[in-house]
Amino acid sequence: MASKSQSDAQLIGTRSLTMLFFVLHYIHLFLLGMNVNLNAVTLIPFKLAGGALASLMIFLYPLFFERIKHKKAIHAIYFLYVGFVMAMTCIARMNGDFEGAEPELFHKVRLAIVLASMVCLIYRLIRPNRAAV
């Protein structure tokens, strides 16, 4: 039963980290809204919709965590979609598509981290259960 307690510990860690991500994203969203308002940034509808959906998922995930904690598909959808939006944001910044944000090495490093974490998640989801062997 050690794997059960290890799984529960991982779930508690995941919930804590996503709650921290939620709080940080809430602050980020406030600052982003101020930036758009003060600098009259032109919003692109499909990018706005994609980002809004990701933000909604970020806000709802910790609230519904207890209901979905044993549903791998929902976790995968959440992490892969939010990761996809983060990756596309990095690529847009690297291409110079953001007003006031010059392409920098940081964007490449961030993209590498996001992609590596997505690959790691996919591997963890599809690998065979070691306890069953």
Mean pLDDT in order along the chain per 10 residues (133 residues): 66 85 92 87 89 93 86 89 94 84 89 94 78 45
Q: What per-residue confidence (pLDDT) applies to 10?
A: 78
* Strand ranges in the chain using DSSP code E only, listed in sequence order: none
Q: What per-residue confidence (pLDDT) applies to 40?
A: 83
Q: What per-residue confidence (pLDDT) applies to 27?
A: 95
89: domain range? Answer: 2-132
CB-CB contact of 121 with 79 (8 Å): yes
How many domains does one find in the chain? Answer: 1
Q: What per-residue confidence (pLDDT) applies to 1?
A: 43
